[in-house]
């Protein structure tokens, strides 16, 4: 029995360690049951609101369950052979009307705060245009030389189904405005660690934003069913410091702007 407990403890430590490693990569953790680790202030708010709302719903559920148990036990036919003929109770009726209204208001206030935080884009330090295509993403940097490149899932990269050949690169602690559109069908640009999810619709330019507070690699996926390879359309964002970002921009200008063949879309147009 002692050996079994020791073995379970070792397995638990190993899973916790692997979970930490996965969390550092900005991706889902095995056996995760909470929201993904936050990397922006918006996602911090989402996690706090989620936890508060979960607690509120739990309390309400337990309260209703307690009322049901009391009614079953106290007001069954055996305990009350002569049923009450009470038809009205002003205090109870006011309470069950007023209390739910107050609860809904308490939920609505932070909900609107979160919506305004997500929709009111602050002054951007950087703009990136993300175009969803079947089945990859193209990223353009109009503020940094107007170069563009494609980002496809790389089968030889880890993590599986999330690694790409060319990541979106952004600086840490900078407001990044993301303009999102679709080239063929509706896609969705979603990054759980940033609290970002917005549709990429052909003929329409949607906007969202994030301000990453941590450096590292972060992964998301297309979250709108867009065809047979929908599951193989990851979003990969590498957050770096200002110096690394400036160096990457200079290298990207030469790699992508000077050589359009690096872009899958450009290569396809040339073939036509």
pLDDT in tens, the chain (272 residues): 455 544 444 434 444 443 433 344 578 788 888 888 999 999 999 999 999 999 999 999 999 999 999 989 988 888 888 887 878 889 989 999 999 999 999 999 999 999 999 999 999 999 999 999 999 999 999 999 889 999 999 988 888 899 999 999 999 999 999 999 999 999 999 999 999 999 999 999 999 999 999 999 999 999 999 999 999 999 999 999 999 999 999 999 988 875 554 444 443 443 33
pLDDT confidence of residue 80: 82
Which of these, 153, 172, 146, lies nearest to 235 by C-alpha position?
A: 153
Residues 6+ apart with CB under 8 A from 151: 136, 137, 138, 139, 164, 165, 166, 167, 168, 235, 236
Burial-class residue 197 by CB neighbours within 10 Å (0-12, 13-18, 19+).
middle
Which H or E run contains 198? strand 196-200
For residue 136, the cross-strand partners are 133
Give yes or no for a contact between 212 and 194, defined as CB atoms under 8 angstroms apart: yes
Instruction: Measure the CA–CA gap between 15 and 2, rounded to whole angstroms.
Output: 20
- Of 129, 251, 131, nearest to 200 (Cα)? 131
Give the pLDDT score at 18: 39
Rounded to whole angstroms, the maximal C-alpha distance in the chain is 90
Domain boundary assignment for the chain = 41-78+89-119, 126-271
H helices present in 25-153, as ranges: 41-74, 90-119
Q: Options 2.60.40.420, 2.60.40.1220, 2.30.30.360, 2.40.50.140; which CATH number does 126-271 get?
A: 2.60.40.420
| Residue-level pLDDT at 10 | 42
| CB distance 220 to 234 below 8 Å | yes
* DSSP H or E run through 19: helix 2-24
Query: Would you state the pLDDT for residue 33?
Result: 83
């Amino acid at each position: 029995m002692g050996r079994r407990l020791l073995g379970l403890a070792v397995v638990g430590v190993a899973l916790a360690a692997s979970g930490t490693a996965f969390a550092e990569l900005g991706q889902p953790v095995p056996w995760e049951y909470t929201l993904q680790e936050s990397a922006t202030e918006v996602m911090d708010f989402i996690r706090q609101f989620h936890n508060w709302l979960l607690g509120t719903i739990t309390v309400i559920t337990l309260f209703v369950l307690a009322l049901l148990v009391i009614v079953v036990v106290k007001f069954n036919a055996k305990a009350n052979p002569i049923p009450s003929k009470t038809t009205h109770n002003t205090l109870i009726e006011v309470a069950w009307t007023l209390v739910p209204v107050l609860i809904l208001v308490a939920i609505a206030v932070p909900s609107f705060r979160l919506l305004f935080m997500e929709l009111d884009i602050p002054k951007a330090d950087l703009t990136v245009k993300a175009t969803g295509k079947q089945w990859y993403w193209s990223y353009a940097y109009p503020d940094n030389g107007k170069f563009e490149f494609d980002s496809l899932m790389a089968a030889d990269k880890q993590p599986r189904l999330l690694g790409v050949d060319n990541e979106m690169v952004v600086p840490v602690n900078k407001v990044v405005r993301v303009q999102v559109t679709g080239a063929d069908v509706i896609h969705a640009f979603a990054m759980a660690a940033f609290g970002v999810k917005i549709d990429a619709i052909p003929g329409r330019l949607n906007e969202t934003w994030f301000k990453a507070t941590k450096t590292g690699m972060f992964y998301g996926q297309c979250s709108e069913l867009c065809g047979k390879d929908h599951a193989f359309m990851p979003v990969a964002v590498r957050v770096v410091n200002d110096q690394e970002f400036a160096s990457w921009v200079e290298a990207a200008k030469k790699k992508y702007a000077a050589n359009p063949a690096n872009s899958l879309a450009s290569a396809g147009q040339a073939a036509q």
